[in-house]
């Protein structure tokens, strides 16, 4: 299985490794998806981005469960932007898959690293 983030994303889009015409566009969409993942709290705390075919999936995460979901999520997000479906039915179905994956990734992250949204109780010292 291809480990390069760019190459594996190109493969799912049906593009050959040596066909580089759309690499810049695909990299922009990949980095946009990484930004969304960072906002969900998934991946490195400082965020993550790629500039070429060098970064691999294990650079982003070494969590096996997260790894599989992130790859599928990335493919859906990039495909949705780069090569959108031709019908509204397919578009809606893809949007629902993306939303479900975002929810699952966020829920999984919260189960490991939950932070209370409420401020700690302030105790006044007499």
Phi, psi (deg, nearest 5) at residue 4: -65, 130
- Give CA–CA dist 50/32, Å, rounded: 10
pTM, two decimals, is: 0.83
pLDDT, residue 123, reads: 65
pLDDT in tens, 21-67: 999 999 999 999 999 999 988 888 889 999 999 999 989 988 877 88
HEC string of the chain? Answer: CCCEHHHHHHHHCCCCCCCCCCHHHHHHHHHHHHHHHHHHCCCCCCCCCCCCCCCEHHHHCCCHHHHHHHHHHHHHHHHHHHCCCCCHHHHHHHHHHHHHHHHHHHHHHHHHHCCCCCCCCCCCCC
Per-domain boundaries in the chain: 5-106
HEC string of 79-101? Answer: HHHHCCCCCHHHHHHHHHHHHHH
pLDDT in tens, 75-98: 999 999 999 999 999 999 999 999
């Amino acid at each position: 299985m291809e480990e390069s983030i760019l190459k594996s994303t190109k493969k799912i889009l049906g593009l050959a490794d040596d066909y580089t015409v759309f690499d810049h566009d695909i990299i922009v969409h990949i980095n946009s998806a990484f930004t969304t993942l960072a906002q969900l709290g998934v991946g490195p705390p400082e965020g993550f981005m790629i500039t070429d075919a060098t970064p691999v999936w294990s650079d982003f995460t070494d969590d096996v469960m997260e790894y599989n979901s992130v790859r599928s999520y990335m493919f859906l997000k990039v495909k949705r932007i780069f090569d959108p479906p031709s019908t509204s039915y397919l578009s809606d179905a893809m949007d629902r898959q993306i939303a479900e994956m975002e929810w699952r990734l966020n829920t999984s992250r919260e189960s490991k690293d939950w932070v209370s949204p409420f401020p700690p109780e302030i105790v006044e010292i007499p």
